[in-house]
Amino acid sequence: MANLRKRLSTNVDGNFFVDSTCINCDTCRQLAPASFQEKGDYSSVYRQPENAGEELEAYRALLACPVGSIGAVKKEKGHLTQATESFPHHLEGGVYYNGFNSEKSFGANSYFLHHPDGNWLIDSPRYSPHLVDAFAQMGGIRYIFLSHEDDVAEASRYAKRFNATRIIHQADSEAMPGAEWIVSGSDPVPVAPGFYLIPVPGHTPGSMALLYNNRYLFTGDHLWWDRESRTLQAPSVYVWSDGSLHQSTQGLLDLRFEWVLPGHGDRIRLPGPEMKAALHRLLKRWSDTADRRA
């Protein structure tokens, strides 16, 4: 719970604030960009909500913050309840953003996919009674897809609760002992109609993406959208292998998708040709950087 005595001086005056326990994970800036921004090594409130929509976004950020660094001087119970009930937050089709990000995954985003043949949890949020109830009401969880070793969080608890099958790549499997489905190799793996597991080594040796219906690409920490530069980005630090990262990113050009749904960084939806063009631009930036270093 945020502590008013630890309130950062970079916050503007008003109801919402960020305290010094912030880990600068970007969750609040994704959920409520009208109110939160990065300031130095932390997030802070640069503008207080000015309407009901912005206030709901700020309460969502408060709930999703993995370390409880966001506070409200006066919490409106009704607004807080509304924000809680908005999670999982519907994005499109059967895809939901879970909220309740976990400190164990440095605040990574996780997703829920509602599907008639069995629901999917993509990476793991905190183990939240509210989410447990919401998932149960939508039919439980059949599969838990773990994009890489960093974002497993509370996957074991959700697996136990729903008797779900955990999927992880062999190269990262030490992070999830007892996982029921271990993927090996570097080739795409069809797992169900419309679902493909795509190994994308680079950030970690066992990083994977999940492609659903040639539309949704859940990318873990392999690929994300940068809201400031309006470009696709991939890791430049904490990389296991630059060569593998570049090669596996190049391989994404063979896929068709319109959504990038990452663990860290912003999600984005672009028409297929625009998404492919954005991916080409990322690869060209890498090529140009390599040429300058040569």
Residues 75 and 99 grouped into a single domain: no
Q: Domain boundary residue among 84, 115, 145?
A: 84
pTM of the model: 0.96
| Helices and strands (H and E) in the chain: how many | 7, 19
Residues 121 and 264 grouped into a single domain: yes
Q: Is the pLDDT of residue 187 over 60?
A: yes
- Residues 116-165 pLDDT 10s: 999 999 999 999 999 999 999 999 999 999 999 999 999 999 999 999 99
Q: Domain boundary residue among 36, 68, 84?
A: 84
Residues 177 and 35 grouped into a single domain: no
Question: Which phi and psi (to 5°) does residue 274 adopt?
Answer: -70, -35
Question: Which phi and psi (to 5°) does residue 183 adopt?
Answer: -90, 140
Q: How far apart are CA 187 and CA 180, in angstroms?
A: 19
Q: Domain boundary residue among 84, 112, 146?
A: 84
What lies within 8 Å, CB to CB, of 91 at 6+ separation is: 97, 261, 267
Q: Under a CB-based contact definition with an 8 Å cutoff, are residues 192 and 117 in contact?
A: yes
Residues 169 and 53 grouped into a single domain: no
- The CATH number of the domain holding residue 170 is 3.60.15.10
Domain that holds residue 211: 87-293
Residues 11 and 74 grouped into a single domain: yes
Give the count of domains, the chain.
Answer: 2
Q: Is the pLDDT of residue 178 over 80?
A: yes
- Amino acid 1: pLDDT: 83
- Amino acid 128: pLDDT: 97
Residues 54 and 104 grouped into a single domain: no
Residue range 51-61: mean pLDDT, rounded: 97
- The CATH number of the domain holding residue 20 is 3.30.70.20
Q: What is the mean pLDDT of the chain?
A: 96
Residue 269 Cα to chain centre, angstroms:
14
Residues 14 and 131 grouped into a single domain: no
